Amino acid sequence: MTAVKFCGLRRPEDIEYANICLPEYVGFVFAESRRRLSLAEAARLRAGLDPRIRAVGVFAGAEEGFVEEAFASGAIDLVQLHGGEGDEYVGRLKERLPCPIIRAVGVGGGMGPPPDRGRADYLLFDALAGGAMGGGGRAFDWGILAGAPGPYFLAGGLCAGNLGAAISLLGPYCVDISSGIESGGLKDLAKMRLVMGIAKRRDTR
């Protein structure tokens, strides 16, 4: 079955909704974003999270020491690098942190064959438009990823309206959804339940 990551949780209510839906992952954003959290805020939210759900810290161009501090604080279980960090950066973190690392790759027009994941444990493919990667609820041409080696995370404009098609076409390890489970900029329990149902009805293994 396809795993699910709800990204951009930032309120106690969001944690309550996640505990009801039980996705495999949630994401706490430490990069520049309207969803950005401090480490203290993330730790408070994590304290209320069901232990069956793994927390991912999302970073972009962060100092390595800050990423290490976030992991050491216990607020996160995995690291997601969303700022174009290279394999050397990933390698240094791998030497210091006993956790999986996800490296985001921007997908846009003119992209060649999907890259090798290098020293990262997973790649995350997200929409690239206007020089920015992710966070804007934009989808991309999924056909670009045909034949991409797995397992990988798929992000970029996913919602109840297109999630089933994306899973059927690509069979990603995990779908990463943020804007698609929001109403008025806030996480919406009904939408979260809906996408969980769609993801879990499709066996991609």
The answer for residues whose C-beta is within 8 angstroms of residue 150's C-beta and 6 or more apart is: 171, 172, 173
DSSP category for residue 114: P
Give exposure, 9-38, as e/b (b: 16+ Cβ within 10 Å): bbeeebbebbeebebbbbbbbbbebebebe
The answer for residues whose C-beta is within 8 angstroms of residue 169's C-beta and 6 or more apart is: 142, 143
State the Cα–Cα distance between residues 35 and 24, nearest whole angstrom: 20
CATH number of the domain that 90 lies in? 3.20.20.70
Name the pTM for this structure: 0.91
Asked if the structure places residue 119 within a domain, the reply is yes
If one counts the domains in the chain, the total is 1
What φ, ψ does residue 36 adopt, rounded to 5°?
A: -65, 140
Local structure of 145: helix, strand or coil = helix
Asked if the structure places residue 73 within a domain, the reply is yes
Asked if the structure places residue 18 within a domain, the reply is yes
Residue with tokens 């329990």: 189
State the Cα–Cα distance between residues 122 and 152, nearest whole angstrom: 5
pLDDT band at 130 (very low <50, low <70, confident <90, very high): very low
| Residue 190, number of CB atoms within 10 A of its CB | 10
Q: Which long-range contacts (CB under 8 A, 24 or more apart) does 162-165 make?
A: 163/195, 163/198, 163/199, 164/198, 164/201, 164/202
What range defines the domain where residue 42 resides?
Answer: 3-200
What does the pLDDT look like over 15-70, one tens digit per residue? 999 999 999 999 999 998 899 999 999 999 999 999 999 999 999 999 999 999 99
Quick check: 142 pLDDT over 80? yes
Query: Is the dihedral angle over the CA atoms 154, 156, 160, 165 positive or is it negative?
Result: negative
Strands 152-154 and 174-177: parallel
pLDDT band at 79 (very low <50, low <70, confident <90, very high): very high
Asked if the structure places residue 49 within a domain, the reply is yes
Asked if the structure places residue 205 within a domain, the reply is no
